[in-house]
Structure 1
Amino acid sequence: MTDRLPPPVPGSLHHVEIWVPDLARTVADWQWLLEDLGYTLHQSWENGRSWNLGSTYLVFEQSPALTGDRHDRLAPGLNHLAFHIDTADRVDLLVAKARENG
């Protein structure tokens, strides 16, 4: 695995880092979707994983500095991630795959 990414487009998103209480569960929940969308595993370390698509990457890390043990969508902070999907049929396929992946 290489740490070299394509050159960024000025003003584009560089990365998003999300701290999670359970890295193994997070990887199980997200890996299938990210790879289905074209992301590739970029980095892997004891407490984290990152996937990239082009010059943007998404990081999930189980940090020892967490103050809570679960995500609260109603609390300040990250509410959700949204991805561009090309067709409604592709969205339907991803919804079916999400059900298969719990």
Structure 2
Amino acid sequence: MNDAPKPPEGLHGPMRAMSPGVVDFLFRQLVAGEPPEDVQWRREGTVLAEQAPGAELARRLAETDLEALTPRELFDYVRASQRLIAWAEQLKEKAVAQYCSDGTARTPKPA
């Protein structure tokens, strides 16, 4: 008669969006009395949010473990990837403009 309602299965609310790596990181920060942000990035060099578009940014994005990012770092990751896409689009547009502006045909010459 006095059956307590069963909690719904799975995580809900903010915990639903947090990977195990993020939860582990935040727990370690809490225990150590550190801020919930990874300040080590700033000590080691350019943070992802400030990395200029180019090959180095592409390398860093490719090598990043998304499961280990905090929500803020994940946001910075997405913004950095958007900057990289815009940069690559500009390169493509310049190359197409160069290709189209040349008056000569771009077909290979017969041997």
Q: Could you say which TM-score interval applies, normalised by the shorter chain?
A: under 0.3
Q: State the structure with more CA Rg.
A: 2
Higher strand share goes to which structure? 1
Per the normalisation by structure 1, the TM-score is 0.21
More helix by share: 2
User: Could you state the TM-score of these two structures normalised by the residue count of structure 2?
Assistant: 0.20
